[in-house]
Amino acid sequence: MLCGAISSEHWSRLQGYAERMQIMAAEQSTLDEIHPSVWLFLTARLGGSPLLPRVRELHVHRLRISGTPFLAFLLSPTIRLFDLSFGFESEEEDRVRAPHVQTSILQTLPDMVPDLEDFTYGSGFDLSVVRGCLQQFTQFKRLKSLITPPDVELDQHVLQVFSSVSTLQILSCCIDLSGISTLVLPSDPFLQLAEVDLRAHTDHLITFFRACPFPNLVRIELHITDPPTVSHPRDLFVAICKHCDPTLIKHLDVDVLHRFIARPSSLMEYAEPLVALRNMRSFRLCFWSTEPSICDDDILRIGTAWPRLTSLNINHITQQYSQPDVMAPSLSAIVELARRCPALTSLALAELALELDPRGLPKLSAVPPLGHGLRYLDIDCVRSPPSSHEMYLDMATVLDRVFPSIDLDNAMSQLGPHGKSWADILRLMEAMQVGRANGAMFAQTGSQRQG
């Protein structure tokens, strides 16, 4: 344990090191190794000046009351990013004091770190106690990013405060708007908000997006915990498209954590309003408790609506495949998606259907070598696995002609327990890539010899 006064030699060395440090990370377990006498020494030596005069990023995790003196020495006007969480207090007396210590820290932050740009507060906060001092956040003149823990649900009052931070561009939080049908916000809320990451009941997300216009939103991430009480599930996407600028939104990431009362018969039955977002670049939709039906028309409509798409990921994690009432897209639809989305670099789907219908496997003569730049292709399961080696070979040939640049090492690394047929297809594609590379090498060697 470090205790007592620090020698002049060691103090000089510590100061030199501290003056160069720009990123600082500390945990309570580390602070426990410092005797309280050191705080007295630092108080006398520093005279109110910060210990780290040039620090830009400060990460303090699982802080307890015994470590708060150290935090006082670290807070500096130079800090731009502050990541803070509190740990569990083992003593009853400290548990009683902890909320008041948290309140004091939040109240003094605007004065201690006036130019703070990114603030993350993690676990351990008692929102019922500290909510009264959250108004202090409006004093920050440069605060751009605000991230709160997923186990702390923000209500209307807190959202009213956060919406008044005129410089706020990124908000990540869990919200609970139980008991209200309309979210009342102050004038001109969330004017600069460009990215949101929200976890909530469908009803509360709809209420949030209906509260005001979001003229600058570019990226939206949603974690939908419960189905709507009355409205249709797609009403959430209707609210987003109506209250945001559909030409600005480029990235949408959605986790559907709940089961559907009635499974949508197609992806568009659930997500059709989103085709209005014409400049979509990346789209991820993951179902945690339901296997979505995705038909060829869904894939084609995505390709038509989002020609600038670079990443498409529609998946589920239930580990249930080849269900008779769940549709999966065919290889023909994937080929057509490539034509309509020339910038696509990443594609992930739960299932790829190989139907007995000849439309399920396009004829090679109808598949020109597109030379598409897709790099990452992740398929969990091939439905109706090929019944012969020739069908495996035909599928691999089609994919290789359309997507010659796939990173097959990456694709093999993503294989799951249901991916045997997909693995066989990838191995054939690997042989084709190797043969193509060897052919190019031999051709180059031959031309050099002729020269």
pLDDT in tens, 215-274: 999 999 999 999 999 888 999 999 999 999 999 999 999 999 999 988 899 999 999 999
Please report whether residue 101 resides in a domain: yes
Please report whether residue 233 resides in a domain: no
- Please answer whether residues 287 and 319 qualify as being in contact, where contact means their C-beta atoms are separated by less than 8 angstroms: no
Q: Tell me what percent of the residues of the chain surpass a pLDDT of 70.
A: 92
Tokens, residue 384? 């109706």
Q: For residue 362, what pLDDT is reported?
A: 61
How many helices and strands, by DSSP H and E, does the chain display? 15, 14
Q: Which of 101-115, 148-162, 207-221, 362-376 has the lowest mean pLDDT?
A: 362-376
Confidence grade of residue 197 (pLDDT, cut at 50, 70, 90): very high
Please report whether residue 61 resides in a domain: yes
Please report whether residue 373 resides in a domain: no
Distance CA 162, CA 166 (A): 9
pLDDT at 442 over 50: no
Question: Residues 69, 73, 79, 81: what is their CA dihedral angle, to the nearest 10 degrees?
Answer: -30
Going by DSSP bridges, is the β-strand pair 282-287/57-63 parallel, antiparallel, or unpaired?
Answer: unpaired
Q: For residue 69, what pLDDT is reported?
A: 83
- Please answer whether residues 106 and 134 qualify as being in contact, where contact means their C-beta atoms are separated by less than 8 angstroms: yes
Residue of 357, 287, 355 lying closest to 322 (CA atoms): 355
Tokens, residue 431? 């042989």
Q: Which of 9-13, 166-170, 364-368 has the lowest mean pLDDT?
A: 364-368
Please report whether residue 165 resides in a domain: no
How many separate domains does the chain show?
1
Please report whether residue 354 resides in a domain: no
Q: What are 376's strand-pairing partners? A: 346
State the chain's mean pLDDT as an integer: 88
Tokens, residue 8? 């002049």
Task: Measure Cα distances from 188 to 140, 168, 370, 432 in Å.
Answer: 17, 12, 48, 58
Enter the pTM of the model: 0.88
Question: Residues 316, 317, 323, 325: what is their CA dihedral angle, to the nearest 10 degrees?
Answer: -40
Q: Which residue has the higher pLDDT, 240 or 442?
A: 240
Residue of 178, 177, 129, 184 lying closest to 161 (CA atoms): 184
Confidence grade of residue 448 (pLDDT, cut at 50, 70, 90): very low
DSSP track, 316-360: E-S-----TTS---BHHHHHHHHHH-TT--EEEEEEEE--SSGGG
Please report whether residue 119 resides in a domain: yes
Q: What domain range includes position 20? A: 1-138
Please report whether residue 67 resides in a domain: yes
Mean pLDDT value of segment 293-311: 97
